[in-house]
């Protein structure tokens, strides 16, 4: 057979959590609560649905190759010129394109351990070396000073996920400001803000659009709060030269017609966005209140979050496996975090209140 480079042969693919259909088949359950994938439990915006319905009649035509309407809508919403906006099939699709366009032989990347597994897969799918800086196991936050210490003459990119998936933690405005001043201009900083809409309400959160430096590229998605994960649409904002490169090197007709339409419609629905943020906040307060006693007893540690999920440190991989297997058998899907490098932790999405209650009810039985 054809020889494959070692970095591809040794690559471990991204494995998502169990689907509802898998659990139905495996356990014969009729009521299942999926709290594993950080999806919006409210579904998607009615305005996104309306926009998709109108676009269906055009499915015999290829999508707009430049995604002009969507890019103009993003431009209007955030006050960023169109030439500073790229779109693609999810933020991961654009990120993969960025790595392909800018990483040359000998270039290196730096990020934190226990960060977004999608980026880890993309990084390990390259021949380039990536440095993974240890994360504090007390705060589960990025060690920005440690990342600065790893910068060398070969460093091309630094990947920062804020809020971080799967920990939910952030670095603050001051922390990022101090960090940026020490990063060489020739090093590209990738800021992954998939959970921006949940975190932006916090005063200490550094909205990266307020740091429009030439070497900062912001990535955001329509898969989380906008609720169209199944269509795959995301966008990047950065220097016009970087965006021009991304737009000419991407697949010609991504995102697809329905994704472009849904994303454009979703951006018009502030009411849906505010409703989603409110539901998430209520879920977080509920989880904190219900888990406080177990935390006080030392059974777990709840990591403060700025996203639409919580991470629980259960202190052992064995406990995580027991919790996961038992919850699956009872119709509750959560995310064990061993693939992320956190074998002692689980991640739970804030869902509808009945879903949150189902998790708490079954989880507490285990303690």
Q: What is the DSSP string of 240-271?
A: HHHHHHHHHHS-TT-S-HHHHHHHHHHTT-HH
What pTM does this model have? 0.93
pLDDT digits (tens, 9 = 90+) for 75-116: 999 999 999 999 999 999 999 999 999 999 999 999 999 999
Tell me which residue of 147, 151, 149 sits closest to 160, measured CA to CA: 147
Give the domains, in start order, of the chain with CATH numbers: 17-43+271-365 (3.90.1150.10), 46-268 (3.40.640.10)
State phi, psi for 220 to the nearest 5 degrees.
Answer: -135, 170
User: Span 2-6, mean pLDDT?
Assistant: 73
- Return d(Cα 172, Cα 169) in angstroms, integer: 10
* pLDDT over 70 (residue 11): no
- pLDDT category at 17 given cuts 50, 70, 90 is low
Question: What's the longest Cα–Cα distance across the chain?
Answer: 60
* pLDDT over 80 (residue 27): no
pLDDT digits (tens, 9 = 90+) for 253-274: 889 999 999 999 999 999 999 9
- Return d(Cα 140, Cα 363) in angstroms, integer: 23
Given this model, what pLDDT does residue 65 score? Answer: 87
Look at the alpha carbons of 265, 163, 244, 125 in this order and tell me if their dihedral is positive or negative.
Answer: negative
- Return d(Cα 33, Cα 355) in angstroms, integer: 6
Q: Which two tokens stand for residue 141?
A: 């936050």
Q: Residue 127 in 3-state DSSP?
A: coil
């Amino acid at each position: 057979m054809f020889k494959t480079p070692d970095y591809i042969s040794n690559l471990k693919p991204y494995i998502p959590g169990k689907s509802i259909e898998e659990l139905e088949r495996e356990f014969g359950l009729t009521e299942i609560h999926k709290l594993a994938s950080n999806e919006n439990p409210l579904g998607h915006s009615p305005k996104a649905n309306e926009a998709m319905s109108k676009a269906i009649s055009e499915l015999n035509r290829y999508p707009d190759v430049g995604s002009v309407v969507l890019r103009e809508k993003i431009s209007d919403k955030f006050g960023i010129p169109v030439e500073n906006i790229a779109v693609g099939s999810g933020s991961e699709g654009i990120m993969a394109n960025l790595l392909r366009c800018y990483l040359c032989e000998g270039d290196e990347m730096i990020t934190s351990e226990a960060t977004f597994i999608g980026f880890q897969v993309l990084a390990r799918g390259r021949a380039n070396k990536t440095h993974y800086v240890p994360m504090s196991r007390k705060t589960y936050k990025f060690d920005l000073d440690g990342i600065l210490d790893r910068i060398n003459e070969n460093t091309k990119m630094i990947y920062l996920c804020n809020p971080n998936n799967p920990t939910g933690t952030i670095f603050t405005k001051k922390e990022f400001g101090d960090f940026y001043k020490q990063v060489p201009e020739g090093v590209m900083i990738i800021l992954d803000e998939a959970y921006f809409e949940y975190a932006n309400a916090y005063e200490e959160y550094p909205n990266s659009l307020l740091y429009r430096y030439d070497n900062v590229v912001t990535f955001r998605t329509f898969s989380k709060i906008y609720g169209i994960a199944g269509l795959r649409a995301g966008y990047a904002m950065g220097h016009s030269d970087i965006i021009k490169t991304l737009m000419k090197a991407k697949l010609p007709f991504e995102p697809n017609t329905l994704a472009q339409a849904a994303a454009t419609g979703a951006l018009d629905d502030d009411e849906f966005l505010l409703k989603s943020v409110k539901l998430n906040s209520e879920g977080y307060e509920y989880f904190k209140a219900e888990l406080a006693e177990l935390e006080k007893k030392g059974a777990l540690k709840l990591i403060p979050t700025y996203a639409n999920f919580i991470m629980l440190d259960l202190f052992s991989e064995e406990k995580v496996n027991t919790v996961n297997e038992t919850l699956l058998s009872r119709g509750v899907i959560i995310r064990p975090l061993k693939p992320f490098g956190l074998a002692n932790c689980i991640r739970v999405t804030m869902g509808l209140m009945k879903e949150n209650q189902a998790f708490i009810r079954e989880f507490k039985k285990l303690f």
